[in-house]
Structure 1
Amino acid sequence: MESNLILYTNDSGDVSIQVRHEDGTFWLTQKRMAELFNVSVSTINEHLRSIFNTGELSEEATIRKFRIAQNEGTRQVTREVAFYPLDAIIAVGYRVNSEQATYFRKWATKVLNSFITKGYVLDKQRLKQGEQFGHDYFILLSAKLLGKSLTCCHPNYCVSMSWNEDFYV
């Protein structure tokens, strides 16, 4: 289980938040979500309650506790802190009413639109900065792009047929 801390900074540079990256997703506390969307922690809590109450996400499957060392006065204390994955962050981002949440929704919509129209999304900044990807990231991306090309160009290619997967990919 690999865990990295990534620093998220918005385009204008006025919001900078430490984001935990673990098990293929991003995790934030309620406090960090409040900073991301420029609202109070109680607003984040209210939206999370609504998300769980409506069944959009399962509270038990969503919340994960991480042990965090933090300074309290002159001593360092380790506590279990509740973190929420990207699914919850996105769900909250689409409910919060703030200028920063609007920027987030515009960004998320742009990414989703790119994925739907192109079939993939590339983070040019991450590529330029040499950020770490999973060991099989580019292999899987290449296989997906090849599969997409074949469905467009080759009349005998059918995604649902197992022999195609063995032969083409």
Structure 2
Amino acid sequence: MIIYNTADGQTKIEVKIQDETVWLSQKQMAELFNCSMDNISLHLKNVYLEGEIDEKRTTEDSSVVQKEGERSVNRPVRIYNLDAIISVGYPIKSHRGARGVGKI
């Protein structure tokens, strides 16, 4: 894992590195591109439906530890590799997002 700081210094994102690529959840992509998770989900749906990238090759099921009250709980989460991150990042017209993709 590495910590990625956005160019504007507003957000720090913990980035998973595995199999020579980076992996982010939809929540992390929303933070990176400064948009909603709904927006990320919509763009992912479109790139997979259009066959721009292969969902099986660009996603992986993982888990995250969340603090719920006093206890820590493992929750399943789908993560996306750099190909998916770039495919989502370019359609999002965010100056912050475009800079973020280039620096991951």
Relative to the length of structure 1, the TM-score reads: 0.57
What residue in structure 1 maps to residue 72 of structure 2?
76
Instruction: Give the one of 53, 72, 83 matched to 1:87.
Output: 83
1:26 Cα deviation from its structure 2 partner: 0.2
Max Rg structure: 1
Residue 76 of structure 2 aligns with an amino acid whose one-letter code is: E
Whether the aligned pair in 1 keeps the contact of 2:6 and 2:100 (CA below 8 Å) is: no
Instruction: Give the one of 39, 47, 50 matched to 2:46.
Output: 50
Map 1:75-154 → 2, pairs under 5 A: 75-104=71-100, 107=102
* Residues 1:14 and 2:35 are matched in the alignment: no
What residue in structure 1 maps to residue 27 of structure 2?
31
Structure 2: runs of 5+ lacking an equivalent: none
In terms of fraction of residues, the more helix-rich structure is: 1
Whether the aligned pair in 1 keeps the contact of 2:22 and 2:82 (CA below 8 Å) is: yes
Structure 1 CA distance, aligned partners of 2:20 and 2:69? 34
Structure 1 CA distance, aligned partners of 2:30 and 2:7? 18
Residue 55 of structure 1 aligns with an amino acid whose one-letter code is: G
1:61 Cα deviation from its structure 2 partner: 2.2
Aligned-residue Cα RMSD (Å) equals 1.6
SS at match of 2:83: helix
1:101 Cα deviation from its structure 2 partner: 1.8
Structure 1: runs of 5+ lacking an equivalent: 109-169
Residue 11 of structure 2 aligns with an amino acid whose one-letter code is: V
SS at match of 1:96: coil
Structure 1 CA distance, aligned partners of 2:6 and 2:81? 19
CA displacement, residues 87-136 of structure 1 (integer Å, 9 cap, x when unaligned): 0001111111223123236x36xxxxxxxxxxxxxxxxxxxxxxxxxxxx
Residue 49 of structure 2 aligns with an amino acid whose one-letter code is: N
Runs of 4+ in 1 over 4 A off after TM superposition: none
1:68 Cα deviation from its structure 2 partner: 2.0
1:13 Cα deviation from its structure 2 partner: 1.7
SS at match of 2:30: helix
Residue 35 of structure 1 aligns with an amino acid whose one-letter code is: E
Structure 1 CA distance, aligned partners of 2:61 and 2:85? 16
Structure 1 CA distance, aligned partners of 2:59 and 2:71? 27
In terms of fraction of residues, the more strand-rich structure is: 2
